[in-house]
Structure formats: C-alpha cells, structure tokens
Amino acid sequence: MNDVAVIGGGPVGSRVAYRLAGYGYDVVVLEKKGDLGEPVCCTGIIGMECVKRFDIDDNVIFRRANSAAIYSPSGKRLNVRRQEPQAAIVGRAAFNVSLAERAQDRGVKYILDSPVGGMEVREDRVRVKTGDVSCEARVAVIASGFGSKLVEEAGMGRIGDFAMGAQAEVETDGVEEVDVYLGKKVAPGFFSWLVPTSPGRALVGLISRTRTGYFVRKLISSLVTQGKITTTEPEIRYAGVALKALSRTSGNRVIVVGSAAGQVKPTTGGGIYYGLLCADIAADSLHRALENDNLSAKSLADYDRQWKKVLGREQKLGYWSRKFYELLSDRQIDRIFDIIKSNGIDEALMQSDDLSFDWHGKVILKLVGHSALSRTVRSVRLPFPAGRKD
C-alpha cells in the first residue's frame, strides 16, 4: 500500500507528489493521459514571482514578457509596460513533463494511461479504481483538473461558477507582444488573447460563458484579416475554467488541489501559480497528518484553513471584480479606458508596487476607489452590496 495516491499528473499533482516524496513518503501518481507531453488547453503565462519561487526550468520558457497591449471594444489601446519582465510564457506540455521528472527523480511512481473510475474510502485506506486495477493508499489527493467527477463523489460538491476556455496554436507574422481584447462582441463578460510563444507561433484564445466556439472562430478570422496570424483553421481545444473555489476541499482521507478545487484567479482564470502554492500547503498539511497517523476529515481541514489564509481574500476580491466587469457595457468599458488614459492612472499603476501579475486585490481596490472612476463604478449595479467583497 502506498502512503499517497495523487490523481492527476499535471503541474499541481506533480508538485504535491514531489514535496511529499521529499518528506520520505511512498507516492504514486495516476494519470489518464498516455503521454504527459500531450498538448494542453492552457496559455501557460505565469508571473515571474512563480518562476522564481518554484525554480521553473529555463528550458520550458518560450519567452519573458514585460508588456502587453489591451484593446477596448472600440479599438482603443492601453499599453501595459515595465522595464523588467513581469511574466513568462511556458510551453505547457514541456512544463508538465519537467515537474513530473522532478518528482520521478525523488522516487515518485507514475502510472500513465490510467483514468480513475472511482474511489472507495475505507476506515484505514483509500482504494482508487483504474480500469481493472485498484491502487490503495493511506490518503488520496485529487489534482485531476476542472470538472472531475471524483470531487463530487468525495462529498466536496461542485464548483459554484465557471466558464469555458478555448484556444488554438497558430502561425503569426511579426507578433512580438501579448494582445488582450475586451468587449461583448469579442468575449462577452471576459476577454480574448493573442500570445506569441516561439518565433512565428502564437496562442489565440478566449474565455466565455456561452458560444465559446463561435467567438473563438470569429476571433481567429478577425486576426487573419488584420494580418496578425496566417493560420485559418487551427485545431481548437476547449477546457472548463473555474471561477469560484469549492467551499470545502478536504474530507476523510481525501483532499482536492488546484483547478479541481477552484484555486484559480477569478479575474483571469489562471490557475498555475495558485495551484502550485496550494500544492505546497497540501503537502505540508498531509505531512503533519501522516506523521500523526490522523487522516480524518477534522485533521485534514487544516489544509482548508491554511490555503484560504493565503488566497481567500484575493479570490473574494477577484470574484467581485469579475462579476462587476461582466455587468459593464462596451460603452462603459470604453469610458473606463478614456478615464484611465486622461487621468494618468495607467502610468501611476506602472510605477506602483501594488501592480502584480498574480495578486490583483490591491489594484482592484485602488481602481474602484479612484475619484475619477467612482462615478462610472456607481453607475453600475454592483454584484454585491457596496462595501462588501465576500
């Protein structure tokens, strides 16, 4: 019997496995894919804070970015630029493989092509069913991504709010900067992107609650017309994007980590950094529980408390701003662009230490409370009562 069975061999699952193996535990990772290097529907943009904290291998980084161009519904452009790189664009498949190799170097066993069909929590162990084979462990970690049925089967409920993401790899002609497009006609309530990766290649995608396929094909057609990309009919991949975390992410001999738990940025849907942070918290909590041989729901609830201390407020503010943005009309978004430019708010933010690729709460509060923007904010029916962000 293993000490820990990790379900899901993505970055978060591999990080949990790596950390637990470092504590000396016998860990197995069960992955439904036959090859960890298979393409992933994820843009792979991570902040430099994430790169440094988790010592991301340079070999998986396509490029580092210090700027982006954000376009309003009417085509107004807002430049976001700093002297030092703020983010890195990683090859997601290579990133998966890199973190898995780190875990394997510590003795973690990976069983590929093993979709998990269910779990049985017993008094002294968890039995994980994969086809005709069962794997037993003292505790199970669900890190299988958004929409995993195992989460609900384990009694954690469902993700309370989500959208759909769509993305395609395309050929480009001279695109060197990240472009972000806003507006109801582009990605209603969300945003779309063009992200250069390797020379002559880029990722095109968006998030939307409805008609995701229609909007991404429309985006691709528009970018072809503009001459920014040359691929007309790329393969499009889809994935669910959690916008709200589970209220409970632990139970008897089971915890949930990463996108499966909704540990993402509600503003952008990005989940790599938050997932990796929670992977470390999960590993530390599990280490204490395994040492004490107490894997009860009460004992593992420490994991919930710890990750919510780190991300709870940030997620609440991010979700509030997400719901607020979805209420804006294209005209109001354009108006906000005008106010930001005419009042030098963009330049002030570029100089502010509060501006962070990963932590958006302080900037959200600054923008909402800015005197020049307050009238526009008041003109929108807020998603929650004024003064309340939870």
Residue 78 placed within a domain? no
Domain end among 242, 262, 294:
242
* Model confidence pLDDT, tens digit, residues 292-314: 999 999 999 999 999 999 999 99
Residue 139 lies in a domain: yes
In a domain, residue 346? The reply is: yes
Q: What are phi and psi of 345, to 5 degrees?
A: -65, -35
Regarding whether 250 and 217 lie in a shared domain, the answer is: no
Q: What is the number of domains present in the chain?
A: 3
Residues 361 and 366: their CA atoms lie apart, in Å, by 9
Could you tell me if residue 77 is inside a domain? no
Distance in angstroms (rounded) separating the CA atoms of residues 41 and 46 = 15
pLDDT for 173 beyond 90: no
Residue 132: the pLDDT is 74
What ranges make up the beta strands (E) of the chain? 2-7, 27-30, 45-47, 61-65, 67-71, 77-81, 87-90, 109-111, 118-121, 126-130, 133-142, 162-171, 178-182, 191-196, 201-208, 236-242, 250-251, 254-256
**130 contacts 144 by C-beta, under 8 angstroms:** no
Give the model's confidence band at 56: pLDDT under 50 very low, under 70 low, under 90 confident, else very high: very high
Q: Tokens 């040359």 sit at which residue?
A: 230
pLDDT higher than threshold 80 for residue 209: yes
pLDDT band at 387 (very low <50, low <70, confident <90, very high): very low
Do β-strands 133-142 and 67-71 pair in parallel, antiparallel, or remain unpaired?
unpaired
Q: Are 273 and 50 in contact (CB under 8 A)?
A: yes
Q: If you search the block for the tokens 């010592």, which residue do you land on?
A: 55
Within a domain: 171: yes
53, amino acid identity: R
pTM of the model as a whole: 0.93
CATH number for the domain spanning 141: value is 3.50.50.60
What's the pLDDT score for residue 383? 56
Instruction: Give the end of a domain, one of 312, 328, 345.
Output: 312
Asked whether the predicted pLDDT for residue 355 surpasses 90, the reply is: no
> Residues 219, 340: one domain?
no
Q: Clarify whether residues 57 and 124 are in a common domain.
A: yes
Which range, 148-152, 246-250, 320-324, is most confident? 246-250
Three-state secondary-structure class, residue 28: strand
Q: Residue 85, SS3? A: coil
1-12 confidence digits (pLDDT tens) = 999 999 999 999
* Terminal Cα distance for the chain, rounded: 42
Burial group, residue 332, by CB count within 10 angstroms (0-12, 13-18, 19+): middle
The answer on 256 and 182 residing in a single domain is: no
Residue 45 in any domain: the answer is: yes
DSSP string across 334-358: HHHHHHHHHTTHHHHHHH-TT--SS
Residue 388 has pLDDT above 50, yes or no: no
Asked whether residue 373 carries a pLDDT value surpassing 90, the answer given is: no
Q: Are 180 and 68 in contact (CB under 8 A)?
A: yes
Same domain, 142 and 59: yes
Domain around 180: 164-242
Q: Do 121 and 259 fall into the same domain? A: yes
The CATH number assigned to the domain holding 202 equals 3.30.9.10
**Could you give the CA distance from residue 60 to residue 341 in angstroms, rounded to a whole number?**
36
- Are 131 and 184 found together in one domain? no
Please check whether residue 81 lies inside any domain of the structure. no
- Are 30 and 116 found together in one domain? yes
Domain assignment present for residue 74? The answer is no
Query: Of the candidates 312, 328, 353, which is a domain's last residue?
Result: 312
Same domain assignment for residues 32 and 57? yes
Would you state the pLDDT for residue 341?
86
Asked if 292 and 170 sit in the same domain, the reply is: no
Whether residues 336 and 206 fall in one domain: no
Q: Are residues 49 and 109 in the same domain?
A: yes
